[in-house]
Structure 1
Amino acid sequence: MTRQVRKAVFPVAGLGSRFLPATKVMPKEMLTLVDKPLIQYAVEEARAAGVESFAFVTSQGKTLIEDHFDSHYELYETLERRGKEAELASAKATEIAAGDLAIMRQHTPLGLGHAVWCARDFIGNEPFAVILPDDVILSKTPALKQMVDAYSKVGGNMVAVEEVPMEQVHRYGILDVDQDDGKIASAKGLVEKPNA
């Protein structure tokens, strides 16, 4: 029997160069999609999959991410005084409890694998999810929930993938697929940002 996935790592230390100029001073994870930052969608997806502990692997200039999930008592008091109950509930729903949030720094940008390595003490010897907040997947059942459910049935390491055009292969991690049943595929290898 597999253990439940209760931890998630969010590698949010990147420069966001694919989103320039919007990310020149704003972390890409804080860019909004309708009324919420990308990072909030990612945290909500993790919560829906049963994740209880969250680690943000950050770099310089990313404190807005941490602040977004903190308590903001002055804002709460103002909203309460003005009778803005819906807005107050929405603001409070973003909080991650102090004991459930870990922040660690990736001082040198050495890639996604290194960012996950930076969270090794947080992870310990437990199953965990890695969530990339700038990849929003719209699905009736959240993608991570589908993966956690599949993990509970078959175990092993899992990665969500999507096809990319050949001319963009150099920008993404690429999977070498062995067997594919349409839902779960067996991988022979993975290369991060290969030369096309």
Structure 2
Amino acid sequence: MSKRIRKAVFPVAGLGTRFLPATKSIPKEMLTIVDRPVLQHVVEEAREAGIEHFVFVTGRNKAVIEDHFDIAYELEETLQRRGKIKEFEALAAQLPAAGATSFTRQQAPLGLGHAIWCAREIVGDEPFAVLLPDMVTAPANGQGGRCLAQCVAAYEKHGGNIIAVEETPWEEAHQYGIVSVGKDFGDAFEITGMIEKPPKGTAPSNLMISGRYVLSPEIFAILEKGEKGAGGEIQLTDGMKILAQTQAFNGVRFEGKTYDCGSKLGFLAANVAFALANPEIAGPFKAELKKVLGAV
């Protein structure tokens, strides 16, 4: 029987250069989608999938992330005193349980694989999830689970390592990590190969790796070797390719929608989509959108 997935790693040490000057003093993960930071959306997805321990791999100038997932005594006391119970309860609902968060530093920008390796002592000898904080997911048609829940369900059924994928236009496949497709299991499929940013016209499929993983702890020993790949960084994809020589990898086609909030276009699209899905503001916001679109 497969071990239950209890821990998730969030690599949040990135500089956010695509959002400068906004990210000069604010971590990109703390930019907001409607009324909560990007990172909180991702943590909520992990919690919905049954994650109990949240491991953040941070860097310098990221202390505000730790503060966000902690109690704010003065703010909470003020909200209660002023009778703002709804706002107080919203703050309390987003807090992980005491002892359920861990923070460790990636002291140099050596790549995603290195960031995951930095969490090795906290994760220990058990399978774990990885969620890239730039990628924010929403269930299909506003119903069902988000991406990690689908990955965990596939892991519990098939075991092995799990990678979430989504279709991308063939002409854009060279921009992403791409998987090769083997046997189809219905709810998942066998991954027979992985390649990071294949040259144009050479991609084995149009299924891109979309930022959600379930990995076995053996990945740490591979990443520890520090072998550098694309961009001179320690790439997670390279580590997974080595692990795939001895362990099964399965892919899950996410049934919902993913927004790449590491890009300005994806971030703005996420704000529009989540605002339209919010019953409190959807109507007025749609009216304002029509005004803006009518003026351009």
Secondary structure in 2 aligned to 1:10?
A: strand
Aligned residue number for residue 9 of structure 1: 9
Secondary structure in 1 aligned to 2:22?
A: coil
CA gap 1:174/1:134 in 2 versus in 1, 3 angstroms = same
Q: TM-score, normalised by structure 2?
A: 0.61
Post-superposition shift, 1:181? 5.3
Q: Is 2:147 aligned against 1:143?
A: yes
Larger radius of gyration: 2
How many residues align structurally?
A: 196
Post-superposition shift, 1:26? 1.8
Rounded Cα–Cα distance in structure 2 between residues aligned with 1:52 and 1:130: 13
Rounded Cα–Cα distance in structure 2 between residues aligned with 1:19 and 1:180: 39
CA gap 1:116/1:37 in 2 versus in 1, 3 angstroms = same
Rounded Cα–Cα distance in structure 1 between residues aligned with 2:19 and 2:193: 28
Deviates most, 109-118 or 180-189: 180-189
What RMSD in Å do the two structures reach over aligned CA positions? 2.0
**Alignment partner for residue 175 of structure 1, among 176, 179, 189?**
179
Name the % identity: 57
Aligned residue number for residue 227 of structure 2: none
Deviates most, 16-25 or 103-112: 16-25
CA gap 1:179/1:20 in 2 versus in 1, 3 angstroms = farther
Rounded Cα–Cα distance in structure 1 between residues aligned with 2:158 and 2:172: 31
Q: Is the 8 A contact 1:68 1:94 kept in 2?
A: no
Describe the superposition over 1:58-105 as per-residue Cα deviations: whole angstroms up to 9, x where unpaired. 111111111110111111100000000000011122222341111011
Rounded Cα–Cα distance in structure 1 between residues aligned with 2:151 and 2:112: 19
Q: Is the 8 A contact 2:58 2:105 kept in 1?
A: yes
Question: What pairs with 1:47-196 in structure 2 (closer than 5 Å)?
Answer: 47-139=47-139, 140-165=144-169, 168-169=172-173, 171-180=175-184, 183-193=187-197, 196=200
Post-superposition shift, 1:154? 0.5
Rounded Cα–Cα distance in structure 1 between residues aligned with 2:155 and 2:109: 30
Matched residue type, 2:114: H
Deviates most, 172-181 or 81-90: 172-181
Rounded Cα–Cα distance in structure 2 between residues aligned with 1:153 and 1:190: 22
Structure 1 unaligned blocks of 5 or more? none
Q: Is the 8 A contact 1:8 1:54 kept in 2?
A: yes
Q: Is the 8 A contact 2:106 2:118 kept in 1?
A: yes
Rounded Cα–Cα distance in structure 2 between residues aligned with 1:17 and 1:179: 40
Structure 2 unaligned blocks of 5 or more? 201-296
